[in-house]
């Protein structure tokens, strides 16, 4: 297996778990801190000897699992910047080292990567198998006549008169009737498979993920998924219905000095208590939903330091 193939398998598994809602909360709308927190949990709950080379590449060589856990806990969240940017925006590729780290985070198997790994065979790959019975050029040891006869121990009765043919010609006459039968069976399967592929592509390519049952709460920087029964310490912070689009893309820009001329028209803003707040996407304000957000303009940027 090549690195390119392994990379695709890991990312496909990540997207699949994201759509199905089986990802850990720290990975649904990841931040650098949440990625580090998830690594701490993974190190505590499912440490495996085979993952030590990966952990060594990130945190340096340690003498035992407890030492690796301490190294992960003491790691600066800034180390996850590139992986976090890749998972949230997919605007650029990322290193294979980060892909290997993601494989560990989502508990992907097989891991770690080796060149002798075999690509896992998906059950759906067996659906088109009837094509090989009628369309393959490989010789077969059994004739279609023998497969359909009710007496497997003896040959079918020979035709009489003008219809009599040699044994080698009879299978050819029977094969000519098979494609339509197999075609009727396989086309519904192929149509269903193509529909699944199209729907999956639509969701993953345009980030239009279905709503997962649950709620979310504002943390001050972004939304975090929580159970709907969750009670925030600050009673002014509402618990609202989970929206995966807002969950993934709506974040507060904490450092105003990172805004540039390229941010005009792409960043959203609103004035609260006499100061402008800036966000990565449009949505209702987390604490003041009656205050509409609008796109950043050159006037706002130049007159509100």
C-alpha torsion 276→280→286→291, nearest 10: 50
Q: What is the pLDDT of residue 199?
A: 66
CA–CA separation, 33 and 36 (whole Å): 5
- Look at residue 156 in the predicted model and tell me its pLDDT: 53
- Report residue 235's pLDDT band, with 50, 70 and 90 as the boundaries: confident
114 within 8 A of 70, measured Cβ to Cβ: no
Query: For the chain, how far is it from start to end, CA to CA, in angstroms?
Result: 53
Task: Please spell the DSSP secondary structure of 12-23, one letter per residue.
Answer: HHHHHHHHHT-S
Chain center to CA of 212: 15
Q: DSSP letter for 49, please.
A: G
Q: What is the mean pLDDT of the chain?
A: 76
pLDDT at 96: 87
Q: Pull the structure tokens for residue 299.
A: 């006037």
The residue length of the chain stands at 305
Euclidean distance between CA atoms 185 and 280, whole angstroms: 49
Considering only the C-alpha atoms of the chain, give the largest distance between any 2 of them, rounded to a whole number of Å.
102
d(CA 56, CA 84): 20
Report residue 116 as tokens: 């002798």
In this structure, the number of other CB atoms found within 10 A of the CB of residue 168 comes to: 8
What pLDDT, on a 0 to 100 scale, did the predictor assign at position 279?
94
**What is the 3-state secondary structure of 167-211?**
CCCHHHHHHCCHHHHHHHHHHHHHHHHHHHHHHHHHHHHCCCCCC
11-25, pLDDT tens digit by residue?
Answer: 888 888 887 878 888
Q: Are 208 and 202 in contact (CB under 8 A)?
A: yes
Quote the pLDDT of residue 149.
Answer: 42
The pTM is what?
A: 0.43
Closest CA to 294 of 304, 283, 303: 283
């Amino acid at each position: 297996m090549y690195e390119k193939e392994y990379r695709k398998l890991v990312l496909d598994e990540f997207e699949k778990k994201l759509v199905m809602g089986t990802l850990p909360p720290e990975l649904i709308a990841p931040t650098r801190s949440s990625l580090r927190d998830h690594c701490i949990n993974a190190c505590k709950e499912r440490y495996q000897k085979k993952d030590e080379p990966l952990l060594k590449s990130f945190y340096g060589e340690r003498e035992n699992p407890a030492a690796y856990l301490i190294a992960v806990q003491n790691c600066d969240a800034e180390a996850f910047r590139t992986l976090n940017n890749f998972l949230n925006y997919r605007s650029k590729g990322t290193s294979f080292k980060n892909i290997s780290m993601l494989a560990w985070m989502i508990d992907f198997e097989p891991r770690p990567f080796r060149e002798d790994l075999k690509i896992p065979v998906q059950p759906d790959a067996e659906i088109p198998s009837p094509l090989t019975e009628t369309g393959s050029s490989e010789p077969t040891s059994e004739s279609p006549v023998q497969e359909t006869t009710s007496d497997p121990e003896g040959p079918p009765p020979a035709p009489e008169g003008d219809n009599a043919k040699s044994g080698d010609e009879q299978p050819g006459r029977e094969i000519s009737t098979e494609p339509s039968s197999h075609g009727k069976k396989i086309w519904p399967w192929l149509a269903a498979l193509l529909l699944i592929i199209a729907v999956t592509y639509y969701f993953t390519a345009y980030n239009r993920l279905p709503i997962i049952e649950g709620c979310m709460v504002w943390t001050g920087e972004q939304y975090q998924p929580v159970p709907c029964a969750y009670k925030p310490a600050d009673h002014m912070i509402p618990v609202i219905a989970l929206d995966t689009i807002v969950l993934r893309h709506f974040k507060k820009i904490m450092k105003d000095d990172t805004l540039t001329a390229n941010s005009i028209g792409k960043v959203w803003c609103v004035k609260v208590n006499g100061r402008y707040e800036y966000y990565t996407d449009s949505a209702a304000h987390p604490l003041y939903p009656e205050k509409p957000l609008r796109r950043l303009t050159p006037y706002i940027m130049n007159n509100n330091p």
